[in-house]
């Protein structure tokens, strides 16, 4: 009996050995035809959750989409600069002011570069900022409600592209102009561009408590194109770096005329110095006109304030505040490594990457080793500030991100690949193709002092044959690479929404625990909110009729309304009285010249309807809220303009 037991044990032992060998083989066979380990790495089983949030700009959708990594699943589209009929953003009376600008109501923009707020150079998950490129604006989005809370217009700017990057403690969100323009705007010949146009770099302060934005100062720079920017961090905290192109100051056929100089500049701006200058009363107040829109979570309402003045700073008035670092071949991306030492200029018409050293730059400035000046701004010698050149063999470098382990990952648009290289030795470690023509790359926390690594997401400009064809217009493709090993491994490929430019990512545990589930009814300060369905009423003020309406599963209070007349302007103020997670109600009225409303628990939203025809017109709930959702409807009786029908409302007679 005893020997029998021993035999069984030894058999089990052998089996264990066999299976463990099998496992090891599986893990090492990443080059296998089926590549099963890649599928495992991105697989998030049903009911499980992702490790990271990824926020991808929507580009020409004007919005921001939220994804999970490594699954590539999309969780939400957050409306920012564009009207969003899905929720009523930009259509509801409360949110229309969010899209006000000095040009009037602008229902769309081109959103590019999201950046998560930081404390001590590390992501803190309070807010995410994003720029509107076309009608220059910066938005702040809450990372507890995942809704846009604030939009500030940026005056004296055009093509708000080197934005919206934040400093190490979220002191400032920075917005630079891509197109230089006359400042102030005036009627003048376009051909007089050179020496007359200016490029503004705006430093927008962020209130540490509420996040409210305010333009602290605008630096009026020579009329170049300020393409991208990033903050200094660690030892270079206090500086901001902007790539420039079109230092030729061409005003037409820029494709050719802006590509003549062998080197353009990275502008290094010592914002701490300018801040001090401004705090001591420096700068010139200039008349301006720009919108500042704030959404208040307690009133569920946005308001617009038109601001009439902006403080401008002439860089020549603040000695030592701005220097130019010559950088080859119309650099695009301007990236700073986690230590703050290396400033990388991605020369988009080049095969090489130029890496400048912050220490070299400071040494050159202190030694006053200048190589002339541009419009009075000292130019440092290329050789003096250069730390190294990455000879990559790729073509068209655009953007670089970091993993916090001494590696950098640069995208190459023209040769369609991601190249991994080592900071300091400039040696290329790995390269992997992208599909196709990659723009930005994102590593969670990759633009901070503490990158989280894990995955890199390549955001491509061209899709072609990656997915089933859907006609000429396609969503853009993205690829996820596992970057935990020495070599990158492509683990997933998925379509994104709009045209993501940059993205920002952070660990799930930074945001998930504080994500809001409902709005509290007892904190609802909307002037047209009602505390309970019993307070529902209809009030006529001349031709304006205000309906104080309640929704709770599954009925409207009131659901029968009479006494409305053709020519009235009817405001449906709908309060969702649910206090249960994920129970929104919708509201839609037949023939309404606006979108539906999607009202979250505890929220109040307002929709306007101007009935034009006599009749009895139904409205209904658009969100399948319960088993009785189909019953969630009501009627409004519309009588002729001269009718004497009394205003009345009811529920259940």
Partner 1 sequence: MKKASIIMIIGSLLLLGLFIYPLWNIQLGAPQYPEPLGMNIYINGIKGQSEFDIQNIDGLNHYIGMKTLPKSSDMWEFSVFPIVIGSMAALGVIIGLLSFFKKVSHRWFLGWFILMTVLGILGMYDFNAWMVDYGTNLDPNAIMKLQNPDGTPMSYKPPLLGHKKLLNFDAYSYPRLGGYLMGLGMLLTLTAFFIGKRSKKNVYEK
**Minimum gap (Å) between residue 653 Cβ and partner 1:** 13
Q: Which of 21, 188, 616, 628 binds partner 1 (CB under 8 A)?
A: 628
Q: Which of 5, 473, 627, 653 binds partner 1 (CB under 8 A)?
A: 627
In the block, tokens 């990388």 appear at: 344
**Minimum gap (Å) between residue 548 Cβ and partner 1:** 20
Q: How far apart are the first and last CA of the chain?
A: 85
Give which of 28, 281, 254, 232 is closest to 121, Cα–Cα.
Answer: 232
**Minimum gap (Å) between residue 517 Cβ and partner 1:** 10
**Minimum gap (Å) between residue 333 Cβ and partner 1:** 43
Q: Which of 355, 552, 589, 636 binds partner 1 (CB under 8 A)?
A: 552
**Minimum gap (Å) between residue 579 Cβ and partner 1:** 4
**Minimum gap (Å) between residue 71 Cβ and partner 1:** 19
Burial class (CB in 10 A: 0-12, 13-18, 19+), 143: buried
Beta bridge partners of 354: 345, 389
**Minimum gap (Å) between residue 553 Cβ and partner 1:** 6
Please state the φ and ψ torsions of residue 316, each to the nearest 5 degrees: -70, -20
Question: Between 383 and 580, whose beta carbon lies closer to partner 1?
Answer: 580
Question: Between 238 and 602, whose beta carbon lies closer to partner 1?
Answer: 602
Question: Between 207 and 535, whose beta carbon lies closer to partner 1?
Answer: 535
**Minimum gap (Å) between residue 6 Cβ and partner 1:** 46
Buried b (16+ CB within 10 A) or exposed e, 179-196: bbbbbeeeeeeeeebeeb
Question: Between 309 and 631, whose beta carbon lies closer to partner 1?
Answer: 631
Question: Between 30 and 579, whose beta carbon lies closer to partner 1?
Answer: 579
Give the range of 232-240, 425-433, 484-492, 623-631 binding partner 1 by CB under 8 A.
623-631
What are the contacts of 281-288 at 24+ separation with CB within 8 A? 282/313, 282/317, 282/318, 283/217, 283/311, 283/312, 283/313, 284/311, 284/312, 284/313, 284/314, 285/309, 285/310, 285/311, 285/312, 286/156, 286/184, 286/310, 286/311, 286/312, 287/184, 288/155, 288/156, 288/184
What are the contacts of 464-469 at 24+ separation with CB within 8 A? 464/435, 464/436, 466/435, 466/493, 466/495, 467/495
Which residues are CB-neighbours of 84 under 8 A, at least 6 positions away? 63, 77, 90, 91, 595
Count residues binding partner 1 (CB under 8 A).
Answer: 10
**Rounded distance between C-alpha atoms, residue 457 and residue 478, angstroms:** 7
Contact positions with partner 1 (CB under 8 A) in 581-620:
581
Q: Percent helix, strand and coil across the chain, each rounded to 5?
A: 15, 45, 45
Cα-Cα-Cα-Cα dihedral sign, residues 82, 88, 91, 97: negative
Contact positions with partner 1 (CB under 8 A) in 492-521:
518
Burial class (CB in 10 A: 0-12, 13-18, 19+), 382: middle
108 sits in the region (left: phi over 0; alpha: psi -120 to 50; else beta) called beta
Contact 431, 419 (CB under 8 A): yes
Question: Between 486 and 522, whose beta carbon lies closer to partner 1?
Answer: 522
Give the range of 102-110, 117-125, 320-328, 625-633 binding partner 1 by CB under 8 A.
625-633
**Minimum gap (Å) between residue 635 Cβ and partner 1:** 20
Question: Between 556 and 617, whose beta carbon lies closer to partner 1?
Answer: 556
Contact positions with partner 1 (CB under 8 A) in 518-547:
518
For 41-77, give the DSSP string. Answer: HH---TT---SEEEEEE-BTT-SEEEEEETT--EEEE
Q: How far is CA 203 from CA 57, 208, 223, 276, in A?
A: 21, 15, 18, 13
Q: x/- contact string, 559-588, with partner 1 (CB under 8 A)? A: -------------------xxxx-------
Question: Between 103 and 520, whose beta carbon lies closer to partner 1?
Answer: 520
Question: Between 527 and 652, whose beta carbon lies closer to partner 1?
Answer: 652
Question: Is residue 633 a contact residue for partner 1 (CB under 8 A)?
Answer: no
Which residues are CB-neighbours of 631 under 8 A, at least 6 positions away? 554, 555
**Minimum gap (Å) between residue 630 Cβ and partner 1:** 12
Question: Between 4 and 581, whose beta carbon lies closer to partner 1?
Answer: 581
- DSSP secondary structure code for residue 626 in this structure: S
**Minimum gap (Å) between residue 528 Cβ and partner 1:** 22
**Minimum gap (Å) between residue 558 Cβ and partner 1:** 18
Question: Between 144 and 484, whose beta carbon lies closer to partner 1?
Answer: 144
Q: Which of 212, 553, 569, 629 binds partner 1 (CB under 8 A)?
A: 553
Question: Between 534 and 542, whose beta carbon lies closer to partner 1?
Answer: 534
**Minimum gap (Å) between residue 522 Cβ and partner 1:** 10
Name the site residues for partner 1 (rule: CB under 8 A). Answer: 518, 552-553, 578-581, 626-628
């Amino acid at each position: 009996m005893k020997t029998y037991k021993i035999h069984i044990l030894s058999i089990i032992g052998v089996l264990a050995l066999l299976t463990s060998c099998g496992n090891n083989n599986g893990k090492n066979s990443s080059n296998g035809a089926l590549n099963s380990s890649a599928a495992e790495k991105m697989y998030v089983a049903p009911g499980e959750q992702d490790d990271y949030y990824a926020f991808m700009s929507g580009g020409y959708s004007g919005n921001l989409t939220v994804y999970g990594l490594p699954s590539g699943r999309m969780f939400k589209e957050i409306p920012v600069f564009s009207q969003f009929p899905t929720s009523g953003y930009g259509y509801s009376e409360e949110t229309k002011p969010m899209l006000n600008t000095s040009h009037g109501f602008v229902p769309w923009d081109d959103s590019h570069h999201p950046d998560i707020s930081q404390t001590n150079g590390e992501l803190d998950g309070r807010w995410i900022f994003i720029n509107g490129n076309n009608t220059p604006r910066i938005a702040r989005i809450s990372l507890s409600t995942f809704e846009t809370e604030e939009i500030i217009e940026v005056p004296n700017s055009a093509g708000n592209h080197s934005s919206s990057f934040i400093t190490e403690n979220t002191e400032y969100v920075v917005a630079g102009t891509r197109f230089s323009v006359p400042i102030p705007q005036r009627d003048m010949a376009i051909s007089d561009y050179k020496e007359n146009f200016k490029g503004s770099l705006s430093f927008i302060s962020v209130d540490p408590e509420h996040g409210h934005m305010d333009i602290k100062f605008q630096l009026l720079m020579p009329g170049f194109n300020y393409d991208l920017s990033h903050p200094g961090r660690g030892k270079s905290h206090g500086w901001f770096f902007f790539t420039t192109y079109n230092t030729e100051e061409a005003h037409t056929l820029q494709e050719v005329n802006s590509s003549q100089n062998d080197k353009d500049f990275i502008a290094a701006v010592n914002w701490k110095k300018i801040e001090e200058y401004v705090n001591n009363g420096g700068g010139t107040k200039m008349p301006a006109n720009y919108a500042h829109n704030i959404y208040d979570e307690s009133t569920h309402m946005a308001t617009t304030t038109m601001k009439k003045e902006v403080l401008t700073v002439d860089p020549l008035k603040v000695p030592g505040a701005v220097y130019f670092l010559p950088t080859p071949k119309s650099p695009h991306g301007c990236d700073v490594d986690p230590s703050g030492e290396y400033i990388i200029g991605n020369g988009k018409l080049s095969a090489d990457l130029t890496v400048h050293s912050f220490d070299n730059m400071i040494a050159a400035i202190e030694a006053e080793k200048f190589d002339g000046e541009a419009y009075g701004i000292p130019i440092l010698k290329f050789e003096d500030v250069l730390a190294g050149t990455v000879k990559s063999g790729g073509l068209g470098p655009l953007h670089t991100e970091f993993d916090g382990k001494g590696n950098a990952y640069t995208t190459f648009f023209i040769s369609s690949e991601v190249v991994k290289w080592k900071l300091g030795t400039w040696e290329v470690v790995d390269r992997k193709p992208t599909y196709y023509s990659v723009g930005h790359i994102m590593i969670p926390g990759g633009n901070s002092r503490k990158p989280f690594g894990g995955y890199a997401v390549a955001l491509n400009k061209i899709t072609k044959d990656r997915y089933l064809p859907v006609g000429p217009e396609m969503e853009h493709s993205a690829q996820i690479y596992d970057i935990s090993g020495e070599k990158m491994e492509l683990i997933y490929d998925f379509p994104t929404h709009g045209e993501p430019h940059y993205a920002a990512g952070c660990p799930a545990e930074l945001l998930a625990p504080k994500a809001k589930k409902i709005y509290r009814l007892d904190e609802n300060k909307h002037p047209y909110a009602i505390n309970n369905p019993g307070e529902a009423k209809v009030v006529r003020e001349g031709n304006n009729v205000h309906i104080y309406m309640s929704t709770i599963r599954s009925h409207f209070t009131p659901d029968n309304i009479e006494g409305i007349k053709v020519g009235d302007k009817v405001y449906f103020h709908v309060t969702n009285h649910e206090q249960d997670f994920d129970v929104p109600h919708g509201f839609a009225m037949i023939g309404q010249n606006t979108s539906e409303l999607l009202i979250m628990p505890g929220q109040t939203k307002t929709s306007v309807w101007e009935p034009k025809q006599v009749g009895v017109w139904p409205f209904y709930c658009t969100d399948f809220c319960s088993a009785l959702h189909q019953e969630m409807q009501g009627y409004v009786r519309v009588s002729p303009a001269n009718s004497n029908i009394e205003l009345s409302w009811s529920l259940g007679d």
